[in-house]
């Protein structure tokens, strides 16, 4: 007996997608199962890929080049990250968990140092430079840049808390709120657009897998799921009615 893994994969995709969608009706066993499978598989996959693609070749490949051929030569300096990694795992041992702080301190310090320069350069200096108005541009560009400059200035004033927001400061900060609201509105619009795009992607796959080529995976799983949900919903109602009856009897 031979298995067609493409068809098995299609059925799994349909089952998982419809299980997650079933949450829109209400919390149920299909959703719970799909949620747990997703989290478990994701964690396992990331763990495996991190070990085999990173730790195994880059760390162990440099410390034990005669055993692991990853194209590197012996580099003893890699003992330091190896020890820091072990310190992180020691968090699981209560008496030695304090050693993990050394690794965390290294990570935080290194990240802060890395971010410091690049953030100042790309997000502050260049952004300040680009918010200056270029009067050599077209009228439309100049108006656009003036609006951006007003938005930046009023937005910053809104976050300036050293002075009470009254009078002129209050008016400018209120203008800043409007600019922020426009930004949040645009972000919300884009977020909706993104979610709808994902929905389109799922529906497209469900439609593809509803063909005879995939043994009508979508309609079959869909019908089975509706029957199962209907059955459980009916059972739940029956159980809650019985419970209500027994409560009534006791109170009488």
Partner 1 sequence: MKKLLIRLGNVDRRWIFLLIGLSVLIPLLKPKWIRIPIETTLNTQVVFDEISKLEENDKILISFAYGPSTKPEIHPMTIALFNQLFSKGVKVYIVSLWPDGVIMAKDAMMQILDSKVFNLEDGKHYVIFDYKVGGEIVIKNIASDFRGLYMQDINKISVANISMMEDIKSIEDFDFVFDLSAGVPGNAEWVQYACDSKKVPLSSGCTSIMVTDAIPYVESGQLKGILAGMPGAAEYENLVYDFMINQNDNKFILNYDKIYPGKATSRMSSQSLAHVLMVLLILFGNISYYLLRKRRN
**Of 52 and 98, which CB lies nearer to partner 1 in the complex structure?**
52
Which of helix, strand or coil describes residue 166?
coil
CA-CA distance, 226 to 228, in Å (whole number)? 5
Compute the least distance from the CB of residue 38 to partner 1, in Å.
10
Compute the least distance from the CB of residue 115 to partner 1, in Å.
8
Cβ neighbours around 180 below 10 Å, total: 15
CA-CA distance, 229 to 240, in Å (whole number)? 16
Q: Which residues bind partner 1 (CB under 8 A)?
A: 24-25, 45-46, 49-50, 53-54, 70-72, 114, 118-119, 121-123, 126-127, 129-130, 148, 183, 186-187, 190-194, 196-201, 203-204, 207
**Of 80, 79, 99, nearest in space to 89 by CA:** 99
Compute the least distance from the CB of residue 218 to partner 1, in Å.
12
Compute the least distance from the CB of residue 123 to partner 1, in Å.
7
**Of 96 and 125, which CB lies nearer to partner 1 in the complex structure?**
125
Phi, psi dihedrals of residue 75, rounded to the nearest 5°: -130, 105
Q: Which letter does DSSP use for residue 211 in this model?
A: S
């Amino acid at each position: 007996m031979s298995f067609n893994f493409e068809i098995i994969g299609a059925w799994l995709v349909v089952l998982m997608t419809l299980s997650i969608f079933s949450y829109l009706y209400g919390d149920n066993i299909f959703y719970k199962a799909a949620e747990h499978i997703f989290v478990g598989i994701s964690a396992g996959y990331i763990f495996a890929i991190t070990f085999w693609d990173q730790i195994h070749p880059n760390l162990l490949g440099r410390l034990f080049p005669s055993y692991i051929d990853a194209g590197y030569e012996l580099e003893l300096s890699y003992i330091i990250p190896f020890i820091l990694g072990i310190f992180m795992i020691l968090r699981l041992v209560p008496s030695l968990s304090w050693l993990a702080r050394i690794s965390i301190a290294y990570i935080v310090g290194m990240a802060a140092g890395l971010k410091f320069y690049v953030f100042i350069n790309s997000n502050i200096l260049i952004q300040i430079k680009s918010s200056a108005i270029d009067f050599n541009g077209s009228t439309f560009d100049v108006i656009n840049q003036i609006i951006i400059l007003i938005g930046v200035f009023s937005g910053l004033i809104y976050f300036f808390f050293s002075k009470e927001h009254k009078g002129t400061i209050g008016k400018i900060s209120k203008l800043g709120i409007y600019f922020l609201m426009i930004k949040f509105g645009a972000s919300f619009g884009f977020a909706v657009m993104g979610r709808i795009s994902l929905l389109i992607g799922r529906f497209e796959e469900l439609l593809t897998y509803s063909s005879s080529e995939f043994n009508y995976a979508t309609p079959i799983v869909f019908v089975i799921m509706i029957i199962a949900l209907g059955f459980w919903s009916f059972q739940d109602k029956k159980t809650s009615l019985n419970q209500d009856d027994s409560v009534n009897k006791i109170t009488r």
